[in-house]
Chains A and B, each alone.
Chain A
Amino acid sequence: MYAGHAAVALALKTRDPRVPIAPLVLACYGPDWLETFLGFFRGRSEMALYTHYLPGLLTGALAAAALYTILLRRPGGWVILAGWLLHWPADFFTAHKGLLSPTDRVGLDLYNLPAADFAVEALLILACCALYGRTFAHSRGQRRWVLAMAALLVGLQAMLDSGLAQARPEWNPSLSENQWRTQRIFVLSVWVGQSLCMPLALSPATPSASEQWRSMA
């Protein structure tokens, strides 16, 4: 998701107006900024896997909320946390994002269906701007600024989607992981069981009672 993340920030701002908008928008785009920064060390596409899968997302969200609370000493750390965490469900619509493993990814892949992506993000922008306007814009001048902001965000989204459409995309939504895998608890119990069995399997063969009887006969 592109401009939709900014719309999510506007909606969150109405929940706690004490949180400044700039850190809130930064938090809503947090995994993308982190991916860009970490990309200088190991390559952006590789880092994107780790900043956007669920454990990485939760780690980043907790770190951002802690930084905000410690550095700015302001209330509303939970809004920063929520903004960072809401990045994943928003990106689920537009791309493929990791669940518990960075490589097994799910998503509706609307970036490869640019018209649908534009419709979804534009609707989200308009709804969130309406919510923001209802809370903060009471005069005509203020409402004009809300309208201008909504138009600019929709314009940015249109620019991105027209660029995506020129690449002749192929839509490939995915709602399941690439491969079936067992629960980790089960894998652990099998591993423990196997590690206990192995010494028995590799121990030197002992003669059974019938073999002993045969040798004595």
Chain B
Amino acid sequence: MVFGIVVLNVLLAQQSFRIDAAERRLEALAVEHLELVEVQATLSAPGRIAAWASRHGMRLPDDIRILRAPSGPADPSGADPASTDGQGGW
């Protein structure tokens, strides 16, 4: 019986170490996640994107252009009316 209690204690201590290790791993992963969120937010920041675009020769358009998709009943044959009709407007 004494031996059994000792074994139980050892098992409990082992579990306790595993739980500690798991908690530390969880904490580390949470920190890593937060760091990745920060990196993503920094990389996608509009100022950074705009600067990159500008360095690659892109610029904002001077005016608004409105393009309307052609409308009309669907061709039963499955052909795209925009591609067969030269008045597509794109």
Whether chain B is bound by chain A comes out as: no
A residues at B contact (CB < 8 Å): none
